[in-house]
Structure 1
Amino acid sequence: MEHLMMLRLLSYLLGLLIFPSVQGGIASNSKDQSMCVLQDAPQQCGSFCLAALNPIFDDTDSMRTTLDEIKAELKAGLDSRLKQELKEDFANSIQALQTKLDARLDRTEELRMMKITADANDELKIQVTTLKDTIKDLQSKLKISKGQIKSKEDILKVKEEDLKNRDEQISTLTTQIKAIEKTKSELSSQLSELHKYYDILPDSCPNGSTNFIYQIKVRDLEPFKVSCATSPPGWTVIQRRIDGSENFNRTWNDYKYGFGNVSGEFFIGLEKLHRMTEARPHELYIKLGDVDGSTSYAQYDDFKIGSEEELYELKNLGNFSGEAGDSLTYNKNQKFSTFDRDNDNIIGFNCASTYGAWWHNYFLNSALNGKYFEDGKGNGIIWYSWHEDYDESLTFVEMMIRPKSL
């Protein structure tokens, strides 16, 4: 740029030198021509003009040559300088571009790292969020687990208390077991003595016994108490009616096992009667009493009762003797009936519901378990062969048995 400025300055100075000479030579022709343009100097100028201008043209050519040389030099120097400057500028530009590129690369790397960091941060945020959720879930589960552990600890505590109580109970039970074993041993000794005693117990009232309560032992039955009569002596009372204090309108099971008080009104039980009369033959003695104090009796020498499977059938009576007449032979071979077990021979009617439990047949000849009437008036305790009046009820009955060998 500096060389170009110098070239322009030299051209300007040259013009200043040439312009006065040219202006003097053409001044006389100003009227004819406004300006002189030397397109072809020899033709356009005469000898005079040419003679005047030749030195100038020579100088001009010399100056042109010089200028051309200067231009060439300047151009060569300029080209070299420009090339060097361009090279330097290009290198600087390359360097600047390289710097910018490096900066851009650094920035790009920085941005890439920032993006990676941002992505990593996002991933970390997601992971942190997931971890927070996981921690929250674990905390919730931990809370639940703590509650469960607390519950289990409470249960364990209760169980420990239970175990402690059980240990105490076991200790107490052990003590009780020892006491029971001791009692068992004592009872075993007592039972052994009882067995010895049972072995010597009679199976009926002793002959000549007084009116007292005895204990007897019948095969396949536990020992039980009976009332022994004194008049006649040696008889075992199996049924008694004296004052109406006991209800004789009972079920089948009551008559099976017996009921009442052996010291007062009672029935010994059909099962005991069966066992006693099956073991060996027995006699039957029936003592009767009326409201006016009169008494009578009926006796049978072979009394036997069947098993429950046989509905406690009146199987045998043997021969009759007595003052009250025979009102029982008619009932032989009949099953026993109660108000809840109809075993009589009348279809559609249960005699026991009206006349009490008995070995009922078709007709009513006897019913010693009927309703009790204190005044003796009513259809209650019947022994028809003695009074022959169904409206007259007995006020006293004792049924007794004894082994036939006595």
Structure 2
Amino acid sequence: MKPENLNNFSQKHRGSVEDSTTENNSLSSDSDIEDISSASGDQKRIVQGLRKIIKKNNTKINDLVAKLTIAEIHLASEKEKSNYKDDLIKLTNENKDLSVKQLQRNILDLEKELALSKNQGSIKEKDKETSGLVDCDDQYKKRIAELNALIDKLEGKLEEKSIKLANFNEKSNEYENNLSEKDKQIEKLEYELTESKAKIVKLESTIHEKDEELVEWNRKTQKCEAKIKSYEANINEMNKKLSEFNLGAECCLDKSLVLMNCTATPLIKLVSLPDEKPFAAVFEEIPSAGLWMVIQRRIDGSVSFDPFDNCYSDGFGEIGTEFWLGLEKLHKLTTSRKYELYIELVDFDDVRTFARYDHFVVGSNKENYKLISLGDYSGNAGDALRSKVNCAFETLWWCHPHDDKCNLNGQYYESKVQLYDWNGLWWGSWNMGNRYSLKSCKMLIKPRH
């Protein structure tokens, strides 16, 4: 039942009570005037007292109906907040309707009895009327007591409904608090869900990037595999050529290779370096010193060591005659592990001498392939290369602007020649401090154990 309907219902019933009271008052107005004019003073006071009681009861009834109407409106508004309030409002409305109807019926019966008692009297029988008014007064008092009891009962029920309504409001508040807490939990879960979705998007982006990197790595791997196959083919081809070269090497040693005293037949091996194609290198055995790799040889001047004709960084010449291994290879070899350097020198009087260094290191291209280290010296040729440490490689040798003590890549002379300038094949100052050209020289390296 909606609040406006309840309000109309209450107004309708209040109107009926008031109308009935007014009607009874109007119906009895003439008789009351007649009765009052003929009745004694006591009878008048009794009738007036009954009227006051009825009016007072009507006022209480109207107040109760107003309170019930307010309670109905409050319950109707609470019904809008929660669906389960309907049962309580419905129960309250039913009890209220029954109570109001019962109270209205009692009031109507009381008013009818009052009117009937007034009409039954006669002015001629004053004693009987006086006796009847006394009985009527007792009956009214009894009815009034019953009406007051009913009012008290109705007020008790109203108080009980108010307590239930308070409990209901408390439960409703608790329910609303629970709903608020659930809303906060839902909001937190939605926030976590949003963050999870953002993380998923980020992970998907990372996976996509990794997939692209994997594709790139696969491409590079395929390219490397192709290079490896090419290298393997080159190695096979070089091994084939080396096998052919080794078959005829023994017969041509006297023409193409100059051997050190007491050395065995040179060995030719393939050497691999990072980012370099495998290259063939000559290895020679030095008595009591082990197997060494030849990195430079000068024997007859058959190869030009002029920097305008050859590239010192890449290397040049023929491994069977004169050659220079290359500065880039020397850098990668000597920086990959610790290497020793062995230099053999022969003059035109066939005097042999050597110089040995235990830590030979060549710098990178960015450092102009400078001579970084030589380590400790041993030998009988003299420590002529020591002055070149920390010097850059310029044109054809490590150069020191103020101290020139050797040059093994200079111009080759076919006979003993005294040198007056820097360009020539020489080492230190032999023959009473004079500088003479050398007949041959070798530079060899090996890993230091």
- Does TM, normalized by the shorter one, top 0.5? no
Bigger Cα Rg: 1
TM-score class, shorter-chain normalisation, is 0.3 to 0.5
Normalising to structure 1: TM-score of the pair? 0.44
* Structure 2 length-normalised TM: 0.40
